[in-house]
Amino acid sequence: MKQTVLHQKELQLSAKMTDFQGWQVPLQYSTVLDEYHAVRTAAGLFDVSFLGRIAIKGADAGAFLQRVFTRNMENLSAGSAAYGLLCNTSGRILDNALLLHLPGDDGFLLCTNAANTEKILSWLTTNAGANVEIADQTRSLAQVALQGPKSLVVLEKLIGGHVKALKLRGVRERKLVGIPAIVSRTGYTGEHGYELFVPVPHAEQLWDAILETGRENGLLPCGQGSRDMLRLEMGYALYGNEIDETRTPIESGLDRFVNFKKDFIGKEALLKLKPEDIKQKLTGFMLLDKGIPVKGGSIFSESREIGVVTSGNHSPFLRNGIGLGYVTSRYAQPGQEIEIEVKDREIAAKTMALPFYRKK
């Protein structure tokens, strides 16, 4: 089982560990709910170094990414980031990823799902031309996520001064307690937040500094338990649950991250799909009685099976069980009455528009 550079620091904080996509990561440090509320009301710090980080440089890097990434690279200026997809020739999803166009036009950094790093690295290398350089930086560059409404306050203390407003998905190079870092205003929680990238030798120093600096602002170290709860309330897809190489961007509701006005690998196959070819679509749902949906549970309509649960959890925001799942396309509209299999029971539920969580 792989471990991040911060593993020993996490054990010192009495983290309860769990396995996630081939990595040993913290499930929680205190309680999942305490960590969830810290992110929603103050700030939380996540070690997300298990995610893949692939550097892409060279004279033809931009043109190469225009061909393999579903977003329009002409709109991704230096110092900005975009969420998008990488598809195979059949239009199925190889990965959902965050792409950073580094400041100073210093190339790109692609952040992949942990389970897909080696696959995507190989796929990129196979498709790249002579003027494209690809390097795996997963083990040389650490990544942490500082998330929550007070994350800016904590970040300013780390920088030692006022931070000029960084727009959503903006990317800058800054020194944090003297450590050179890439700062990206991105995250997986639905809150104001930042992802920070630093050379591995400085990771422990930065981790300690953030925890110490953020303590007076209510910051807590957070694990996968709260991260999954936060992402599910936002309706964010998780690779291996909502998306994989059997799903297309259309049925998974991610076609808004696909620019069909440009060419990319998989476009031709997606354009050939007719409405009747889309048998299932991803939907959100909320239970109308007590219970927590579980991945793999069946979804019914009037006792007829119409789909399967891909993710489920308790929502502190809605104070009820919520989930995502694939259903027969005609049931994917909000307000449909359905039933969810939970521990051999069928619990009444209704489909809902995403996200579940909306800031007041």
What kind and span of H or E run contains 188? none
Tell me, which fold does domain 279-352 have in CATH?
Answer: Elongation Factor Tu (Ef-tu); domain 3 (2.40.30)
What kind and span of H or E run contains 313? strand 304-315
| The pLDDT of residue 162 | 80
CA distance 266 to 139: 30
Question: Which ranges in the chain are annotated with CATH 3.30.70.1400?
Answer: 52-136
Residue 131 contacts by C-beta under 8 Å, 6 or more apart in sequence? 58, 59, 60, 61
What Rg, from alpha-carbon coordinates, does the chain have? 20
Question: Which ranges in the chain are annotated with CATH 2.40.30.110?
Answer: 279-352
| The pLDDT of residue 286 | 99
CA distance 63 to 246: 27
| Edge-first strand listing for the sheet containing 93-101 | 80-87, 93-101, 108-112, 52-57, 133-136
pTM of the model: 0.96
7-51+139-233 in CATH: which number?
A: 3.30.1360.120
| The pLDDT of residue 283 | 99
User: Which one, of 289, 283, 360, 286, lies nearest residue 329 by Cα?
Assistant: 283
And the tokens for 255?
């076609």
Which amino acid, residue 116?
N
pLDDT in tens, 239-297: 999 999 999 999 999 999 999 999 999 999 999 999 999 999 999 999 999 999 999 99
In CATH, 52-136 is 3.40.190.10:
no
Classify residue 122 by burial, with Cβ atoms within 10 Å: 0-12, 13-18, 19+. Answer: exposed
CA count, 13 A, side-chain hemisphere, 32: 15
Peptide bond into 355 cis (omega under 30): yes
| The pLDDT of residue 163 | 77
Q: Which residues of the chain have pLDDT under 70?
A: none
Secondary structure of 266-308 as H, E, C letters:
CHHHHHCCCHHHCCEEEEEEEECCCCCCCCCCEEEECCEEEEE
